[in-house]
Chain A
Amino acid sequence: MSSFATEEKRSVPGDLTPSDTRTEDARIEDGGRRLGFLLTLPAQLLVLFIAVFPLLMQLYISLTDWSPLDGTGWWQAYEVWNGFANYTDLAIDSRFWDALGRTALVMLICVPVEFLLGLGLAILFMDNFAGKRVFYSFMLIPMMVVPAVAGYMFFMLFQSGGPVNDIISTLIGRPFVLAWLSSPGTALAAVMIADIWQWTPLMFLILLAGLVGVPEDQMRAATLLGASWWQRFYTIALPKMKTIMIIALSIRIIENFKIFDTLFIMTGGGPGVATETISVYIYKVTQQDLIWGYVAAIALVILVVLSIVVSLAISRMNAVKEA
């Protein structure tokens, strides 16, 4: 078993009971408490500064028509109070719903593909073979490339006279010219290919850590009992990896929902609105239309929906863990 990838299950993000602090209350005298408070203070202040106050500000602005071009401070936004009009506008804003649908589509394609490719690669890396360490390091490169730079890489690759078309031409034996980024269907495909390129390594990394953590003696015992490779994988390794798979999928779902950098550099959301995801849409309304009251409403709706989804996911994760 390789030494660089043994893992052990630790606390899951959702599991937030401080198991080892309560029993030690007796050992922590008053001085410790005061120090603990002081030490956590900076983090608390930063959270307060970035979470509580901005959220209230966002809520306030979302009920107005305020724009930074108005020439009035944000606190005077009540002068352009419009109640819930932003929210009712949002309900019938087809560009918003299209962007949301497109974001979901990208997620529904990218995340499973990344998961399956990552799992396949992880299985290939499960036991030792010559060159494993070198291959492993190279495999991780995409996820460490700055996303904006990755976006530029794929922008070059997908030019109509670029290397992707060159490779396809060589493979099919005749000139192949396709302006990937300027036709709606292929632009979205190109953006998804870039995402899969960049984030499959993350799935691979996490799932490999999970696979290597499956107790070896159980696998060996099963081999002795005559279990096939597939039986061993399906009945021993897979159930043990349930939590890890959920973690890997959750991380990618959350991050994929935010998709912006790579995509924006590649297509800027275009052609037209063909690759406009939710983050790109909000960006455009913020920077071009400058109706910040409306943006605040969109942002709040997304935050509320995400919070609900996430708390459901966390409670589900704890349930799985306890089962």
Chain B
Amino acid sequence: MKRSLPFEVFRYAAILLALAVTLVPTLWMASMAFKPIAEWSATGADLTWWPKAPTLDNFRFILGTSTSDLIVALESTAGKPILASLLSAVFGTLIAMTAGTAGAYGLSRFGSGQNLPLALIQLRLFPPMAVMIPVMIMWAFFGLVDTWWGLALIYGIVTLPFAFWLMKTFFDDMPREIEDAALVEGCSRMRVFIKITLPMMRPALASSALFVFILNWSDYLIALLLTTREWVTIPVYMASLSSSMTGQLYGAKAALGLIAAVPPVIMGIAIQKHLVRGLTFGALKQ
């Protein structure tokens, strides 16, 4: 379709405006992450969009290698929270992908577990805050509070619907001729699943796992309720990064925010082909 010149001008103007609005908040935080303490809360005429004296001090500060100009020393560095976020998100993804992939295959090929699709969607519908009381009680009972494995378990359950639905649409799309051929050759069904189907689905597994990882990595509320000290995740730790002496540690928080924001953005762009499928529970493919 050919469009008129005025339309093209309008299109680029509108898109550039949208792009500016989209990028400014992220860029502001990125710029803040490299600002020295003197520029953190500069306002009015002194407000700068670009650090005048760029520094890596903020990163050094939160990682604990140097406290340089900052008046306060941190009670704990960001190292452990980064580890907590990583461990809980990675193992949560493993749980969701294992149960989700197996379940999706069982339903897609053998018609087992027909209650699962609806049950899992309903699981996703409820606000986490409305189901957390029993979870907090159960986690306390099993000694899972304030541990990364306790978080990984709840993450695995919370993102199971996405893993299940995504893998179900991939299995539904997969041609069965190859599997049938292997069956005729005398392979057992289990062997076909492990030796033929799963290797074939490697790209689908990878994008689903990345998708689920992003969701786990993004959590704040659940970690806020289920961790207290030892294994707080990045967002929980970040919220606690302010002191009565310095007030908001803008630059330090921004540096940590940048560390937290970069992995999911890169992963999200890498799997953008499957984002729609994932976010609509496979109802739409792109």
Contact = CB atoms under 8 A, between A and B. Distances in A.
B18 interface: yes
A64 to B, nearest CB: 12
A141 B164 CA distance: 25
B273 A4 contact: yes
Closest 9 CB pairs of A and B: A161-B43, A36-B110, A36-B112, A40-B113, A54-B134, A39-B106, A43-B103, A21-B111, A148-B235
Interface of B: 1, 3, 8, 11-12, 14-15, 18-19, 21-26, 28-29, 32, 41-44, 47, 49, 95, 98-100, 102-103, 105-114, 116-123, 125-138, 156-157, 160, 164-165, 169, 172, 188-190, 193, 214, 217-218, 220-221, 225, 234-235, 238-239, 250, 253-254, 257, 260-261, 264-265, 267-269, 272-273, 275-276, 279-286
Interface in A150-199: 150, 152-154, 156-157, 159-163, 166, 175, 197
A39 B268 contact: no
Contacts of B253: 152
Interface centre among A43, A254, A282 (most CB of B within 10 A): A43
A161 B47 contact: yes
Given A6-B286, A7-B276, A50-B123, A43 B113 contact: yes
A258 interface: yes
B110 A33 contact: yes
A69 to B, nearest CB: 13
B225 A47 contact: no
A259 to B, nearest CB: 9
A5 B276 CA distance: 10
Nearest to B280: A247
A26 to B, nearest CB: 12
B129 A260 contact: yes
Contacts of A166: 44, 47
B94 to A, nearest CB: 12
9 contacts: A13-B117, A35-B110, A40-B113, A129-B12, A137-B269, A157-B28, A162-B47, A251-B279, A260-B127
A16 interface: yes
Given A135-B15, A247-B283, A251-B280, A16 B133 contact: no
Nearest to B188: A31
Given A32-B109, A54-B138, A121 B18 contact: yes
A160 B43 CA distance: 8
A43 B133 contact: no
Range, interface on chain A: 35 or more
Contact of B283 (A10, A58, A135, A264): A10
Interface centre among A46, A53, A303, A306 (most CB of B within 10 A): A46
Given A37-B112, A141-B22, A279-B127, 12 more contacts: A13-B117, A24-B111, A36-B107, A39-B112, A121-B14, A138-B19, A140-B272, A144-B267, A153-B28, A201-B22, A261-B221, A303-B130
Contacts of B108: 21
Nearest to B107: A40
A46 B157 contact: yes
A39 B102 contact: yes
Interface in A15-38: 16, 18, 20-22, 24-25, 28, 31-33, 35-38
B268 A142 contact: no
B129 A279 contact: yes
A18 B111 contact: yes
A137 B201 CA distance: 25
A156 B43 CA distance: 12
B185 to A, nearest CB: 15
Interface stretch (A81-89, A90-98, A106-114, A292-300): A292-300
Contacts of A136: 272
B75 to A, nearest CB: 19
Interface in A273-323: 278-279, 282-283, 286-287, 292, 295-296, 298-300, 302-303, 306-307, 310
Contacts of B138: 53-54, 57
Contacts of B264: 144-146
Contact of A137 (B220, B257, B272): B272
A23 B126 CA distance: 34
A79 interface: no
Given A146-B261, A163-B47, A209-B284, A282 B19 contact: no
Nearest to A149: B257
A42 interface: yes
A231 B193 CA distance: 50
A102 B188 CA distance: 57
Contact of A205 (B98, B238, B275): B275
Given A35-B189, A36-B109, A43-B102, A150 B25 contact: yes
A13 B25 contact: no
B284 A9 contact: yes
Contacts of A139: 18-19, 22
A9 B169 CA distance: 12
A11 B272 contact: no
Interface string A110-140: 0000000000110010010100000111111
B276 A58 contact: no
A303 B130 CA distance: 7
Given A153-B29, A279-B127, A32 B110 contact: yes
Given A43-B164, A260-B129, A209 B276 contact: yes
Contacts of B135: 50, 54
